[in-house]
Amino acid sequence: MSHPAGRVLALLELLQTRHRSTAADLAGHLGVDERTVRRYATTLVELGIPVTADRGRYGGYRLHSGYKLPPLMLTDDEAVAVLLGLVVAERVGLATEQPATATALAKIRRVLPAALADRLAAVQEHLGFTLRRPELERGPASGTLLALASATRHRQRVALDYRSWRGEQSHRELDPYGLVFHAGRWYVTGHDHRRGEIRTFRLDRIGAVTPGAATFTVPDGFEAVAWVTRSLAGVPYTHEVEVVLETDLVAARRRIPPSVAELTATTDGVLLRARAESLPGMAALLAGLGCPFTVRHPDALRAAVAEHARRLADWAARPAGGQPPSPRRPLD
């Protein structure tokens, strides 16, 4: 760092990694005197970077929250962490607006050392994900996410425009209790004053968000993640299902996510309550749990389970060559 410009950037990196540093400490790291540190700090201020000098015995230099993001100095490991975070966010749907993620990735790639950039490109090209990104028209707007997060923190009611899955537009007043990222989508849950009850909304369907003056209190014991997963599991479907599983609650929860069914411990085992559009699909799910169960209702699910068992038996009877077995002779 023999060039002054290099030492100025080194000073910026030190200030970004520490809350406050004395002039003597900074001078020791940079290999210059305290007067030169003051000159470098002045140079950063002239470049628009908000460096603050605190006087007194415990004074020193620190970065103040400025009106814009200053140049960010990252080590190789930090750059790898940021780049991988952006890649994962984009692939699983955690990212907000697509252009923002893509441009951030491009900016970091452009300034990486060539060898490191090539190794990271290999990771990105061959990295697989078990969680699929949902097919969304677009991610939520960054402004929407930040506005709702701020309102949630400050317990501030918001007005918002919302588009339902049918495409119907509505205006809502919402007390946001929490934000949840689930199965590739962002949700906000809270008290909807239009309906007079707690509701869950997808962020990618929210338009303008306007903070209001009214405040609110979150109900005691409210858990946003638990509420969102239960509400998604309770979306209206054709069939109401109740099944008693002969296992314990811990084992059941390992196999069945809360977005699929509500699980309750009982004296007989675990009561599974769910809503299903397809009974054959529910029969396949139950068969894959690996524990005995009793269908309470609907009766049609019993028939679906029996049909599933018959298909499994037929497939198990197929010979190794893959040809269907010969028809069974009727019993005499």
Same fold, 147-232 and 237-315: no
> What are the structural domain ranges in the chain?
2-61, 74-124, 147-232, 237-315
pLDDT confidence of residue 47: 83
Read off the pLDDT of each residue in 236-246 and give the average, rounded to a whole number: 85
Mean pLDDT of 252-269: 87
User: What is the pLDDT confidence band of residue 274, given thresholds at 50, 70 and 90?
Assistant: confident
Q: What is the CATH number of domain 2-61?
A: 1.10.10.10
Residue 322 confidence class, pLDDT cut points 50, 70, 90: low
Note the pLDDT tens digit of each residue in 72-126: 677 778 888 888 888 887 777 777 766 677 777 777 777 778 888 888 888 877 7
* Buried/exposed 251-277: b ≥16 CB within 10 Å, e otherwise: ebeeebebebbebeeeeebbbbebbbe
Query: What does CATH list as the number for 237-315?
Result: 3.30.70
Give, in order, the Cα–Cα distances in Å from 36 to each of 26, 49, 111, 262: 10, 17, 28, 65
**What per-residue confidence (pLDDT) applies to 332?**
40
Q: How far is CA 97 from the centre of its chain?
A: 14
pLDDT at 115: 82
Q: What is the pLDDT of residue 269?
A: 94
* 305 contacts 286 by C-beta, under 8 angstroms: yes
Identify the pLDDT of residue 77: 82
pTM assigned to the model:
0.56
155 neighbors 216 (Cβ within 8 angstroms):
yes
CATH for 147-232 is 2.30.30
Look at residue 42 and give its three-state secondary structure.
helix
Residue 285: the pLDDT is 92
Q: CA separation (Å) from 14 to 69, 72, 302? A: 16, 11, 67
Instruction: Return d(Cα 248, Cα 314) in angstroms, integer.
Output: 31
Q: What is the mean pLDDT of residues 48-59?
A: 76
Nearest-CA neighbor of 21 among 77, 13, 179?
13
Instruction: Look at 268 and 100; give whichever has higher pLDDT.
Output: 268
Output the pLDDT for position 124.
Answer: 77
Residues 6 or more apart in contact with residue 205 via CB below 8 angstroms:
162, 163, 164, 165
User: Per 3-state DSSP, what percentage of the chain is helix, strand, and coil (rounded to 5)?
Assistant: 40, 25, 35
Query: 27 with 33: CB under 8 angstroms?
Result: yes
pLDDT confidence of residue 330: 47
Strands 269-276 and 262-266: antiparallel
Quick check: 326 pLDDT over 60? no
- Among all chains, which residue has been given the structure tokens 């002054």? 4
- Is 15 or 254 the better-scoring residue by pLDDT? 254
> Percent of the chain at pLDDT above 70?
87
